[in-house]
């Protein structure tokens, strides 16, 4: 499977008569962009621009999406949402590298977050360094929360695809190639290399805690194996209203650094088998079933080692422990990646569960660390929403617009796939 990412570098974003990229600037026709995402469930929509270094706060943020579109094998992107349900991971994809669509608006679930484009808050989120087109949408009165979430999620995806489609004639500044055969083919090519599997745990708990694979809620699914190219080409989409610090946004999935790091070493010092998007259940039997079947897949594939990243914290810590225990007991060496909820002083137990088999742990930070963020000249959204966010409270917002909050209220601050500015690798 061969995937080409045609990266068009975006170094600024401005309003314009036509939506296009010229000399590194993404120009957006505001009226046409709004028309592209019209939805009767969201009668009030606004678009704003937020650039790195500006005194801007975006709150509350639902999702961040990288603008992309297929250049071959049909148009559109995100199968099951903005493209037909068919395999992805091959052909050419246009990427507006450096740009992001950010969805914002009245709170859907209590676990959303904020982005500061500058200041100390901006130091903790990767989205302070992207050129953001912010879609703020308000629902019709009485709209069901699940319908609200679905409408806002779909609008963000449509806007991201529309942006990339409008710029599809732009010349790529860089083409990144990802090419790998099936697990059996690669095993024959690299018989002497350790076979490594990646288990990407995904929030799949209902109650607005969902992840989608090929347009379908992963929650009722049994574990399956994805080719790494499928992950890097839009097969996985976030539908989560979880603590913003460690939720994998749709932007994170297509830029998953664990996938990219294993891919970079494939054929050199390891054989990268593929990715299991693993269910995190709300019940113990579901957790046991998922962990057991993840290991079964690993054994069938002949895995020598596995990297496991968590999503969320609290009861998903049990899923993490079970995966680590079962893989280690099967003789498959295991490394886990997770953040910690160690209290504001860092002295509490970091996870809600523990197991002795979890003996190689990479931390992406303490979600409970307290930070002070100054007032911003412009706020997109509703600053009072901090009272409803995980890591925030009514007293978090001060009269001058500054806030005293836990790190977990900053979107992407401790994301457990490592695409953040906290941890052992800076991006």
Alpha carbon distance, N-terminus to C-terminus of the chain: 27
CA dihedral sign of residues 347, 353, 359, 365: negative
Q: Across the strands, what pairs with 102?
A: 64, 134
Give me the helices (H) in 80-197, please: 119-122, 145-166, 183-189
Give the integer Cα–Cα distance in Å for 416 and 168: 32
Q: Across the strands, what pairs with 138?
A: 44
Mean pLDDT to the nearest integer, 381-393? 92
Q: What are phi and psi of 182, to 5 degrees?
A: -70, 170
Give the closest residue to 27 by CA, choosing from 126, 137, 170: 170
Does residue 69 carry a pLDDT above 60? yes
Band (pLDDT 50/70/90 cuts) for residue 206 is confident
Question: For residue range 117-139, what is the model confidence (pLDDT) as tens digits?
Answer: 999 999 999 999 999 999 999 99
Residue in 82, 104, 241, 245 annotated catalytic: 241
* CA 213 vs CA 85, 216, 332: distances in Å: 10, 5, 26
pLDDT at res. 240: 86
Mean pLDDT to the nearest integer, 367-378? 97
CA dihedral sign of residues 369, 402, 121, 146: positive
Question: For residue range 32-67, what is the model confidence (pLDDT) as tens digits?
Answer: 999 999 999 999 999 999 999 999 999 999 999 999
Q: Which residues contact 167 (CB under 8 A, 6 or more apart)?
A: 8, 19, 20, 21, 26, 67, 94, 96
Band (pLDDT 50/70/90 cuts) for residue 423 is low
Q: Which two tokens stand for residue 200?
A: 């990407």
Question: For residue range 234-272, what is the model confidence (pLDDT) as tens digits?
Answer: 999 999 887 899 999 999 999 999 999 999 999 999 999
Cβ 243 vs Cβ 251: under 8 Å: no
Q: Give 299's DSSP letter.
A: H
241 is catalytic: yes
Q: Which two tokens stand for residue 37?
A: 């995402």
* Residue 52, CA atoms < 13 Å, CB-side half-sphere: 14
Cβ 396 vs Cβ 386: under 8 Å: yes
Least confident interval from 46-50, 206-210, 304-308, 361-365: 206-210
DSSP 32-63: HHHHHT--TT--EEEEEEE-TTSSEEEEEEEE
Give the closest residue to 315 by CA, choosing from 205, 412, 212: 205
Determine the Cα angle at 111 with ends 109 and 115, to 5°: 115
Q: Give 253's DSSP letter.
A: H
Q: Kind of pairing, strands 68-70 and 91-97?
A: antiparallel
Does residue 333 carry a pLDDT above 80? yes
On average, the pLDDT of the chain sits at 94
Cβ 265 vs Cβ 259: under 8 Å: no
Band (pLDDT 50/70/90 cuts) for residue 107 is confident
């Amino acid at each position: 499977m061969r995937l080409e990412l045609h990266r068009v570098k975006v170094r600024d974003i401005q309003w314009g008569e036509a939506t296009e990229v010229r000399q590194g600037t993404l120009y957006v026709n505001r009226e046409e962009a709004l028309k592209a995402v019209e939805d009767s469930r969201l009668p009030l929509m606004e678009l704003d621009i937020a650039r790195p270094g500006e005194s801007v706060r975006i709150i509350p943020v639902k999702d961040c999406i990288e603008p992309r579109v297929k250049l071959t094998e049909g148009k559109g992107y995100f199968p099951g949402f903005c493209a037909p349900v068919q395999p992805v991971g091959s052909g050419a994809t246009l990427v507006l590298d450096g740009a992001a669509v950010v969805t914002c608006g009245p709170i859907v679930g209590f676990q959303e977050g904020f982005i500061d484009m500058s200041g100390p808050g901006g130091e903790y989120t990767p989205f302070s360094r992207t050129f953001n087109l912010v879609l703020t949408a308000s629902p019709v009165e009485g709209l069901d929360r699940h319908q609200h979430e679905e409408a806002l999620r779909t609008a963000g995806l449509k806007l991201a695809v529309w942006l990339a489609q409008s710029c599809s004639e732009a010349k790529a500044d860089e083409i990144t190639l990802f090419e790998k055969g099936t697990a059996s083919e690669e095993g024959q090519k690299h018989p002497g290399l350790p076979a490594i599997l990646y288990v990407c745990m995904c929030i799949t708990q209902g109650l607005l805690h969902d992840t989608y694979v090929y347009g379908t809620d992963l929650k009722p699914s049994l574990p399956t194996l994805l080719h790494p190219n499928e992950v890097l080409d839009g097969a996985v989409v976030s539908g989560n209203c979880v603590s913003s610090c460690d939720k994998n946004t749709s932007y994170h999935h297509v830029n998953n650094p664990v996938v990219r790091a294993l891919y970079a070493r494939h054929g050199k010092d390891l054989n990268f088998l593929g990715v299991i998007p693993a269910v995190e259940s709300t019940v113990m039997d579901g957790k046991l079933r998922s962990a057991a079947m993840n290991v079964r897949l690993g054994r069938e594939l002949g895995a020598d080692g596995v990297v496991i990243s968590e999503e969320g914290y609290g009861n998903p810590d049990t899923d993490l422990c079970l995966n680590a225990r079962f893989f280690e007991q099967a003789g498959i060496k295991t490394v886990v990646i997770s953040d910690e909820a160690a209290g504001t002083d860092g002295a509490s137990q970091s996870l809600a569960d523990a197991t002795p088999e979890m003996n190689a742990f990479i931390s992406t930070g303490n979600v409970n660390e307290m930070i002070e963020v100054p007032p911003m000249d412009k706020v997109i959204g509703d600053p009072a929403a901090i009272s409803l966010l995980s890591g925030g409270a009514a007293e978090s917002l001060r009269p001058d617009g500054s806030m005293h909050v836990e790190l977990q209220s900053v979107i992407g601050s401790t994301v457990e796939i490592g695409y953040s500015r906290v941890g052992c690798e800076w991006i």
